[in-house]
Amino acid sequence: MDKKREISFNLNNFLLAVSFSLDYLRKDKYSNSLNYSKRIAYIALNIAKELEFTPEEMSDLCSFSLVHSIGLLNISHVSKEYCESSNKIAIKLPFLDEKKEDILKYQNEYYDGSGFFGLKAQEIPLFSQILSIAIAIENRFNLSTIKVQDRNNVLNFIENSKNELFSEELAEIFLKISQKTSFWLDLQNENEILFFIFTNLHDFTTILTYEELFKITSSFYLIDNIDSKLLINLEKMLDFYNFEYKDKFTLLIAASLCNIGKLCVPSSIIKKKAKLEVWEYEEIKSYPYYTKKVLSNIMGFSEIASWASKVQEKPNGKGYPFGLKGKDLSLKDRLLEVIVSFSALTSNKTYRNAYNKEEAIEILKNSAKKDDSYDLSIIEDLKKVL
């Protein structure tokens, strides 16, 4: 492996980390409890074991389970468009079997044809059928908190849904695996779910170039900024400074993921048009902390996590969430701070229209001169490049 151009990448390690923030998104929109995606994966993998899936199939099924809700980044509710959006994003991921292209498109299909696309029985891919039964059970019963006396409600639902919502084969498999007391208890314990996943999956770590990894992570950069030119602006500045290949793409990766922590903040605050209350602003200030929490759990992402979580730090020490000072901020940190702020100013927000380039640069310059909020030399370079 060429460490200057390549990185070891494990898709399920990446998605287990990212699912933390996606679960906050589900919680915000549908009140699902946290670890939702991991519970879907746990149910799906238990079914797959009974079907004697290959290690490669188990790995891919876990990945689809963890990422199945990703369409909520673009579509606000579960719908035909949501399924298509989830699928469109997912097919960019390096699954072991690249032929499985429509799994998430059909994740909400039912055996009798009553799903969004009207597929019936074996027209529905098996992976999609497995996801469908896992999603349906979790959405109806919230298995993280289900009481012992309510387990029969789940079993009755499955029994009554044979050959209607689900195939008889998958229904029978669920009824079999759910006979174990441990099945229900594991679903209420994140550590047990993770232990099950790790002990039942083979290690399919692969080697990607940093450019290939950037193509994967760029799916996340439009969070809260659908018209942002953050990555375009940053790439121009990185080329201006003649950053080497690895530094260029790791910074682009960090920028593409710097907003992932915003999924952990209620959308009612993120999208609020009126002035934020003090406590709401404190909630906003937590997002880079959650960004670091997510990214720090991804293998080989220590530098990326550090850069992505410091985009709101300031040379004067008045930034957030860590209150770092100028001596703690490298050129890369300062550059990201300037580009993130510039791109935010030149993007439309719920509470204001976008500033033009000249206005945004003037705002940044005045702030830098007034209280050392930004690195003035970078702003001057930004003016030349953009």
* Alpha-carbon torsion (240, 242, 244, 245), positive or negative: positive
Q: Is 211 within a domain?
A: no
Residue 158 belongs to a domain: yes
Residues 238 and 150 in one domain: no
| pTM confidence score | 0.94
Q: What is the CATH number of the domain that holds 319?
A: 1.10.3210.10
Please, what sign has the CA dihedral across residues 311, 263, 276, 228? Answer: positive
Q: Is residue 143 part of a domain?
A: yes
In degrees and rounded to multiples of 5, residue 276 shows phi and psi of -75, 140
Shared-domain flag, residues 103 and 63: yes
Instruction: Collapse the DSSP code of 225 into the 3-class scheme (helix H, G, I; strand E, B; otherwise coil) and give the result.
Output: coil
Q: Judge whether 23 and 39 are in contact, CB under 8 Å.
A: no
Within this chain, do residues 81 and 163 fall inside the same structural domain, yes or no?
yes
Total domain count for the chain?
Answer: 2
Q: What is the pLDDT of residues 50-95, one digit of tens each?
A: 999 999 999 999 999 999 999 998 888 999 999 999 999 999 899 9
| 191 and 289 belong to one structural domain | no
In a domain, 215, yes or no: no
Q: How far apart are the first and last CA of the chain?
A: 36
Evaluate whether residue 216 is within a structural domain.
Answer: no
CA dihedral 6, 7, 10, 14 (to 10 degrees): -120
Residues 146 and 264 in one domain: no
Neighbours of 8 (CB within 10 A): 13
Q: Is 305 part of any domain? A: yes
d(CA 11, CA 363): 41
Q: Based on the fold, state whether residues 234 and 124 are members of the same structural domain.
A: no
What b/e string do you get for 58-85 counting C-beta neighbours within 10 Å, with b at 16 or more? bbbbbbbbbbbbbbbbbeeebeeebbbb
In a domain, residue 16? The reply is: yes
138 and 41 assigned to the same domain: yes
Please tell me whether residues 287 and 330 are part of one structural domain: yes
Range of the domain at 230: 221-385
Same domain, 183 and 281: no
Local confidence pLDDT in tens for the 386 residues of the chain: 888 999 999 999 999 999 999 999 999 999 899 999 999 999 999 999 999 999 999 999 999 999 999 999 888 899 999 999 999 999 989 999 988 889 999 999 999 999 999 999 999 999 999 999 999 999 999 999 999 999 999 999 999 999 999 999 999 999 999 999 999 999 999 999 999 999 999 999 999 999 999 999 988 876 666 667 899 999 999 999 999 999 999 999 999 999 999 999 999 999 898 989 999 999 999 999 999 999 999 999 999 999 999 999 999 999 999 999 999 999 999 999 999 999 999 998 888 899 999 999 999 999 999 999 999 999 999 999 98
Examine the domain organization and report whether 375 and 273 are in the same domain. Answer: yes
Instruction: Please tell me whether residue 321 adopts helix, strand or coil conformation.
Output: coil
